[in-house]
């Protein structure tokens, strides 16, 4: 299907859903419409909160953006980044994530049907892990359609990328995508995340990239802690002419002021990877509420090139 036709069909589908949802939301809970006078209508208009106005503005902006994506993405990439930081409206995530990841022009979409017809050596492990993926969501309950879709996409990727095969953490990212889009589109976006965004480096058997991320995170934690200590010395720093003396005092102060939990982890030899590895392997989908994880994905799709974790 030509790209412009594909985007047009997807936009029409989204627009139809939007009209339906807005119409259904216009009736009151009592099943009847309130007859309002012009005065009361004006009063309600004046009482609209700024947050609601902003949400409506984002809808209009993203609507125009996805319609003119090819032009806008070339001319105003910084503008798109700013919009994604504010959060992509749920209504537009299906198409926005595909556009941001450039999955709509990926040839991988065509090979999905072929991959799911093949057998994977990882099928037994995948089937074992499926019930553990978002078990609290109806879409992924036993016997629900989501479990079969999850199995299909994960199996297809294990065939597409035999070096990585399957890693449990990836199931949560696939599940997150399936909550936004059909199987074929989810597969295409996932392949882009793994290859162009280099997530597959985290899942390789040796997991050396994951170890590097843990080291960088530990350094970042230490830097943040040191900045906190440094801020305590800002008032007297101009009077400390002996830098080595100041550093000695800063190190002592650092030990005294280190947060209790961080100190406890250090004393127990509790390595960063013991609690933070899942942050990277699942992109926070097992740590944070799903809506917040979706916001992280919004930003990840446009900011990953600037992230030192994946440079």
Question: Residue ranges per domain, the chain?
Answer: 108-203, 206-280
CATH 1.10.3720.10 corresponds to the domain 108-203: no
CA gap 168, 286 in Å, rounded: 12
Banded model confidence at residue 16, pLDDT cuts 50, 70, 90: very low
Q: How far is CA 109 from CA 126, 156, 164, 234, 284, in A?
A: 22, 11, 19, 56, 26
Quote the DSSP letter at residue 244: H
Look at residue 222 in the predicted model and tell me its pLDDT.
67
241 pLDDT higher than 80: no
Of residues 158, 160, 4, 121, the one with CA closest to residue 67: 4
Contacts of 201 (CB under 8 A, 6+ apart): 209
In tens, the pLDDT along 52-94 reads 556 668 888 999 999 999 898 888 888 888 889 888 999 999 9
Tens of pLDDT along 138-186?
999 998 999 999 999 999 999 999 999 999 889 999 999 999 999 999 9
Number of Cβ within a 10 Å radius of residue 6:
15
pLDDT of the residue at 246 = 44
CA distances from 184 to 154, 156, 190 (A): 12, 10, 10
CA atoms of 195 and 170, how far apart (whole Å): 13
Look at residue 267 in the predicted model and tell me its pLDDT: 77
Q: Has this prediction a pTM greater than 0.75? A: no
Q: How far is CA 149 from CA 76, 107, 174, 281, in A?
A: 35, 20, 9, 20
Give 271's DSSP letter.
Answer: -
Give the CA distances from residue 53 to residues 50, 66, 233, in Å, rounded to whole numbers and listed in that order: 5, 20, 44
Token pair 């879409």 is found at: 139
Which pLDDT tens digit goes with each residue over 115-148?
999 999 999 999 999 999 999 999 999 989 999 9
Q: Would you state the pLDDT for residue 235?
A: 43
Task: With a cut of 80, say whether residue 34 has pLDDT above it.
Answer: no
| Rounded (5°) CA angle 115-116-121 | 85
- Interior/surface letters 104-123, b for 16+ CB within 10 angstroms, e for the rest: bebebbebbeebbeeebebe
> Using the 8-state DSSP alphabet, how is residue 197 labeled?
S
Place of tokens 């978002």: 134
Residue 227: CB atoms within 10 A of its CB come to: 9
Confidence class for position 258, pLDDT limits 50, 70, 90: low
pLDDT of residue 26: 38
């Amino acid at each position: 299907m030509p790209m412009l036709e594909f985007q047009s069909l997807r936009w029409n589908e989204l627009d139809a859903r939007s009209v339906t949802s807005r119409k259904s939301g216009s009736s009151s809970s009592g099943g009847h419409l309130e007859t309002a006078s012009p005065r009361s209508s004006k009063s309600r208009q004046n009482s609209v909160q700024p947050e609601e106005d902003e949400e409506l503005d984002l809808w209009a902006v993203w609507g125009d953006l996805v319609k003119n994506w090819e032009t806008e993405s070339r001319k105003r990439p910084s503008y798109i980044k700013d919009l994604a930081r504010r959060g992509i409206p749920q209504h537009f995530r299906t198409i926005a994530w595909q556009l941001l990841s450039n999955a709509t022009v990926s040839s991988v979409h065509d090979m999905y049907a072929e991959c799911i017809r093949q057998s994977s050596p990882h099928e037994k492990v995948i089937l074992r892990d499926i019930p553990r993926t978002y078990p609290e969501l109806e879409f992924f309950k036993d016997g629900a359609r989501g479990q079969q879709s999850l199995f299909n996409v994960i199996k297809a990727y294990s065939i597409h990328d035999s070096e990585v095969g399957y890693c449990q953490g990836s199931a949560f990212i696939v599940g997150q995508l399936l909550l936004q889009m059909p199987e074929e589109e989810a597969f295409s976006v996932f392949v882009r995340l793994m290859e162009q965004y280099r997530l597959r480096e985290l899942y390789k058997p040796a997991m050396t990239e994951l170890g590097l991320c843990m080291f960088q995170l530990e350094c970042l934690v230490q830097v943040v802690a040191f900045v906190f200590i440094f801020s305590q010395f800002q008032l007297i720093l101009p009077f400390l002419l002996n830098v080595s003396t100041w550093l000695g005092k800063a190190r002592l102060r650092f030990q005294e002021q280190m947060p209790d939990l961080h100190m406890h982890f250090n004393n127990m030899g509790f390595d960063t990877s013991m609690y933070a590895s899942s942050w990277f392997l699942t992109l926070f989908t097992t740590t944070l509420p799903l809506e917040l994880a979706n916001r992280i994905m919004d930003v990840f799709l446009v900011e990953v090139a600037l992230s030192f974790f994946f440079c």
